A and B are shown apart, each in its own frame.
Chain A
Amino acid sequence: MSEMSKIVRTIAAIVFPFIMIYGLYVIAHGHLTPGGGFQGGAIVASACALLLVAYGSMWTMRRIGEKRLSVFESIGAFFFIALALLGLFFGAVFFNNFLAGSSFLFGDIPMVGSNTGDMNTGGVLPLMNFAVGIKVVAGLFVIILVMAYASNHMEKKRGEKQG
């Protein structure tokens, strides 16, 4: 995909931070409001897809290679499984929520019933949300990036053959 006109590029650059902030909000408040790692990751990947459409796949590939995105996805998967294994060590079972109730990071217990919500609750759930968020952003964006780059490359080769 080649880059689009200057109007589209400017509007995409203005809109991009707002979509990004909304996606990061959905990831970070996954244990309080509807949403979570997968939903917020899909929104952030949509913002990156907007940049890809506006600026072209060559520009995006130069900024973020697919190797770096693969590394990010592996980091997300590693942290997810590592948190589950830490539950096995500190608690009793795999996927044990060992941070809930301890006076450590994210360790508070909220009042039962409807309450105003506190960021410092949830045990390992916010950390797992972040791990899955990184994984989903990298995974969904690398699919679109690699497909767009290959399609652009193929089109260029077809043009060379004809001309």
Chain B
Amino acid sequence: MSRRDMFAVVFFSIVCMFFIFSALLMHPFGSPDETDMDDMIIKNTQRETGANNGVTSVVFDYRGFDTLGEATILFTAVAGVVLLFRRMKET
């Protein structure tokens, strides 16, 4: 067994151990540790934003800056792809 294989085996066991321990420490489904923010949003979202869908009201209202960043990422990706392939079209 070469040195590279030894390193791979050790690294693989460490990653496996990490995953197994985090699987053992997992909470039961639907009961997270901290529930303050969830409860506040679930209680107030219909009264404050007027939307029935809580997820959309979080995405576009409570956490609007995240959506703005996502839109910027999409814009940058499209600009890069069009810049790359338009030159291919002309030449």
Contact = CB atoms under 8 A, between A and B. Distances in A.
Direct contact of A and B (CB under 8 A): yes
Interface of A: 30-34, 36, 38, 66, 70, 73, 77, 80-81, 84, 94-95, 97, 100-101, 106-113, 115, 117, 121-125, 128-129, 132, 135-136, 139, 142-143, 146-147, 149-150, 153-154
B82 A33 contact: no
B51 interface: yes
Most buried by A among B49, B50, B81, B82: B50
Contacts of A129: 56, 60
16 contacts: A30-B53, A31-B52, A31-B53, A34-B53, A36-B59, A73-B78, A97-B50, A100-B50, A121-B50, A132-B60, A135-B71, A135-B74, A142-B81, A146-B89, A147-B85, A150-B85
Contacts of A38: 70
Contacts of B89: 146, 149-150, 153
A142 B82 contact: yes
Given A143-B81, A146-B86, A153-B88, A73 B75 contact: yes
Q: List the 8 closest A-B pairs by CB distance, nearest first.
A: A95-B64, A31-B51, A122-B51, A100-B50, A150-B85, A150-B88, A146-B85, A121-B50
Contacts of B78: 70, 73, 139, 142-143
A122 B50 contact: yes
B82 A70 contact: yes
Contacts of B48: 97, 100
Interface string B27-51: 0000000000000000000111111
Nearest to A81: B68
Contact of A136 (B74, B81, B86): B74
A109 B50 CA distance: 5
Contacts of B52: 31-32, 110, 115, 117, 121
A136 B82 CA distance: 15
A147 B77 CA distance: 13
A66 B86 contact: yes
A136 to B, nearest CB: 7
Contacts of A32: 51-53
B56 to A, nearest CB: 5
